Every structure is written in structure tokens, then in C-alpha cells.
Homo-oligomer: A and B are copies of this chain.
């Protein structure tokens, strides 16, 4: 198989990507955009890698909480810690996003930025996804890696714009995506400048949210970090809608793209037609499908548009 995007089946989704890149990167095209403004943004969970049965970062949080539990006897009697530590998956399934955020705050704060990076790096080097029994970082979608490579080969600068933690993703982004820390925009805790015992400047992580980079937060933070809308934006859920709207509202040719999880055999099915559509991990509701249709967004079917999902599949 030659040409770009070999893991994609021919069809409107693949064509939309190829046509868009040719139109914006070819100096002879009327929609040409100079290289300095060629920006593409990618949601991570559910767009670049598997987000079920739960976000990878939540699996990290649970592992950390289990480690920390002996120092927090009060967690045995306080929700959302009690059910979590007891492994009560029925209760866990009913947690609100606020409950999940409480778990994340308790497991992600109180150390230096350097210590946190080490912690994530250690965990993600060892932890495995329950379904495939492989490292989470193996579960990056090969078709999307090809899209990112194709964009980069055509002078685009790629950014991850994730509701997940910026510091979490940065800990493995260079190894997994070849992306440097400045290419990762995500939810962030504040940091606090301090001096350690030797008078050396360090940054600590207090449990205080600075940026919640989901839904409206995505365009807001794209503006904060990049100062302008991207040319192309890729997402897979309601949390990406505003990013796609912000992308499309700007002048000139833009690409707004959604990945639809409709492949229970090879991955998961939680599209609008599925009983899983209202999942808290990457909801693709009927309302989002309607918006996508009304606004002319490209929707790629994982089942029909992707020849293969993962690099480890031959």
C-alpha cells in the first residue's frame, strides 16, 4: 500500500483529509495558508487512543489512591474514596464527573512537577489495559498517527488539546507521539514557585485547578496557548464540540473532524445508536451527530473507515 494514510479505507473521511491538506499546503491553491499558520489540534482520549472502559488517567488515579490509602484512613468512610478503594464498580459507575475530579485531585497534587512526571512515567511504563493486556500506549490509533504524520509532513504543527491532564500527557507524549511539552494543551493544576532545602527553585503542584480544558475550555485554552483558531481540529465527543465550532468559525478553509466509535468487535461501540452513547468517557450523543450533520463536519466511522486500529496488528 503506497501513499499517505495506508490504514484508512478509501472513502469520504480519508478524501476529506487528503483534500484539505492539499488545498491548504499547496502554494498554487486558492485556499493556501502559510506554514506559520498551519495548526492542527487533536483531542486525545477517544481520538488518539482508547478511552474505554475508562480514561487511562483515571486508571492512574486509582492506582495512586490505592498506594496513598494507608496515609488516609478517612477515605475508608468518605465517598468517592470508599467505593473506589473497595473496588465497588457498581457505585463507581454512578460517580459524577465531580466525583472523578475529586479522585484526580487527591492523586495528582502535593508533589513537585518533576516528581509527578516521574510517577506518571513509571506507571505508564508498566500498567496494562484490561482488554488487550498491553500497555495503554500501545492502544494509540494507527490511522490517527498517520494523520498527524501527514499533517507534519505538510508543514503543519500538531497540538494535543485534551480534557485530560497536561502534565500527565506530557510525561509520555514525546515517546508516544513525538510531541514536545509545548505541543500539549490540557487541564492543569496551578503550580507554586518555591525554593527547596538547598535554595534551588522548584515548582510544586497544589490541589488547585487552573485550566479545565474541556468543552468551552478547549477554544479558550487554544486561544491562550496559540492565539488563534487551528486550521483543522479532530475530536470524538461532546467535549470537542466547541473546539470544532471555534475552528470552523474562523475565515478560510477549515477542517472539523469527528471519530465515531461504532466498532464493538475491534474496539467499542458508543455512538449515538448505541445504549452506551451517554457514557461519561467520550459521549457522542444524537445531538452531536445532528450538529455535525448541520455544520458539515466530517465523521469517520471506526468500523468502516479504519483498515486497522493499532500498530501491533499486522
- Interface residues of chain A, those whose CB is within 8 Å of chain B, are 36, 113, 166-167, 170, 180-182, 184, 188, 190-193, 200-203, 210, 216, 219-220, 223-228, 242, 245-246, 248-249
Q: Which of B201, B219, B226 contacts A181 (CB 8 A)?
A: B226
- Ranked 10 nearest A-B pairs via Cβ: A181-B227, A193-B216, A201-B245, A201-B249, A201-B246, A200-B249, A191-B220, A182-B226, A170-B227, A193-B219
* Across-interface contacts of A192 in B (CB, < 8 A): 216, 220
Q: Which of B36, B191, B248 contacts A224 (CB 8 A)?
A: B191
* Across-interface contacts of A182 in B (CB, < 8 A): 182, 225-227
Name A246's closest neighbour in chain B (CB-CB). Answer: B201
* Across-interface contacts of A202 in B (CB, < 8 A): 249
* Across-interface contacts of A181 in B (CB, < 8 A): 226-228
Q: Please, how many angstroms separate the alpha-carbon atoms of A248 and B170 in the complex?
A: 22
Residue among A193, A216, A228, A246 facing the most chain B CB atoms (10 A cut-off):
A193
Q: Are A219 and B190 in contact (CB under 8 A)?
A: no
13 contacts between A and B (CB under 8 A): A36-B180, A180-B227, A182-B226, A190-B220, A192-B216, A193-B216, A193-B219, A193-B220, A201-B246, A203-B220, A203-B223, A203-B246, A210-B224
Name A295's closest neighbour in chain B (CB-CB). Answer: B199
Q: Please, how many angstroms separate the alpha-carbon atoms of A202 and B223 in the complex?
A: 11
- The minimal Cβ–Cβ distance linking A274 to chain B, given in whole angstroms, is 28
- The minimal Cβ–Cβ distance linking A98 to chain B, given in whole angstroms, is 21
- The minimal Cβ–Cβ distance linking A243 to chain B, given in whole angstroms, is 9
Q: Are B180 and A242 in contact (CB under 8 A)?
A: no
Q: Are B223 and A191 in contact (CB under 8 A)?
A: yes
Q: Please, how many angstroms separate the alpha-carbon atoms of A158 and B220 in the complex?
A: 24
* Across-interface contacts of A228 in B (CB, < 8 A): 181
Q: Please, how many angstroms separate the alpha-carbon atoms of A36 and B224 in the complex?
A: 22
Name A219's closest neighbour in chain B (CB-CB). Answer: B193
* Across-interface contacts of A36 in B (CB, < 8 A): 180
